[in-house]
Amino acid sequence: MISPRILVRTYLSPLIGTTAWFLQRVTGLLLLFYLLLHVETVHQLSAGPAAFDRAMAAFKNPLFRLLEIGLLGVVILHALNGIRIMVIDFGVATRHQKRLFWGLAVIAGTLIFIAGAVPLFLHSVMGR
């Protein structure tokens, strides 16, 4: 029937700008949530070296590693899209905003993500 692309465009968002805005908010909320967990973890560590070692052992769990890689992706997307927004806001290259999104946030973002995620992944797989 109706192609998914047209459905999405008609009922959700016509153009890429809304997607970028939406992603920025979703990743922002996820990062706020992460900050909560992070401060909580640091608090836990104040319980002493035994608690620290236990926590570190828990974080070696492959699920945690996967989440960490996910976190890296979220941070990169939010940061690079944020830079793109700043560039547009300060009046530079507004004509190129779509190219900025695809180039900066997506391509550069993917490259940085791979650069960060591969060592993390190898580390968890090799167990070193």
Partner 1 sequence: MNKRIFISRSGGDGKRGWQNYTLDCSPELTVLDALFAIQQRQDPTIAFRCSCRVGMCGTCGLQINGVPALACKTRLTDIVDKDVFLAPLPHFTVIRDLVVSLAVFFEQWRKVLPALRSRDPESKELAKIPAESTYARNTPGKRDCITCGLCFAACGILAMSKRYLGPAAINKAFLRVLDPRDTAHEERLKILNSSHDGVWRCHTQMNCVAVCPKGIDLTESIGLFKRRLLLKNGELES
Partner 2 sequence: MSRNALAWYMQRITGALLVPLLIAHFWVEHFMNATLMRGDLSYEVILTRIANPWWQAIDISFLLIALYHGLNGLYSIVLDFGKIGPRGANITATILVIIGVAWAFWGVMAFHNL
Q: What whole-number distance in Å separates Cα of residue 59 and Cα of residue 43?
A: 16
Q: Using the rule CB under 8 A, which residue among 31, 67, 69, 106 binds partner 2?
A: 31
Which phi-psi region, left, alpha or beta, contains residue 92 (left: φ > 0; alpha: ψ -120 to 50)?
A: beta
Closest approach, Cβ 35 to partner 1, in A, equals 22
Q: Which residues of 89-120 are buried (b: 16+ CB within 10 A; e: fewer)?
A: eeeeeeeeeeebbeebbeeebeebbeebbeee
| Residue 123 binds which of partner 2, partner 1, none (CB < 5-8 A, kind-dependent) | partner 2
Range 46-105, binding partner 2 (CB under 8 A): 46, 48-49, 52-53, 56, 75, 79, 82-83, 85-86, 89
Element (H, E) at 97: helix 97-100
Where does this chain bind partner 2 (CB under 8 A)?
Answer: 25, 28-29, 31-32, 35-36, 39, 42-43, 45-46, 48-49, 52-53, 56, 75, 79, 82-83, 85-86, 89, 119, 123, 128
Residues that bind partner 1 (CB under 8 A): 2-3, 5-10, 13-15, 17-18, 20-22, 85, 88-91, 94-95, 97-98
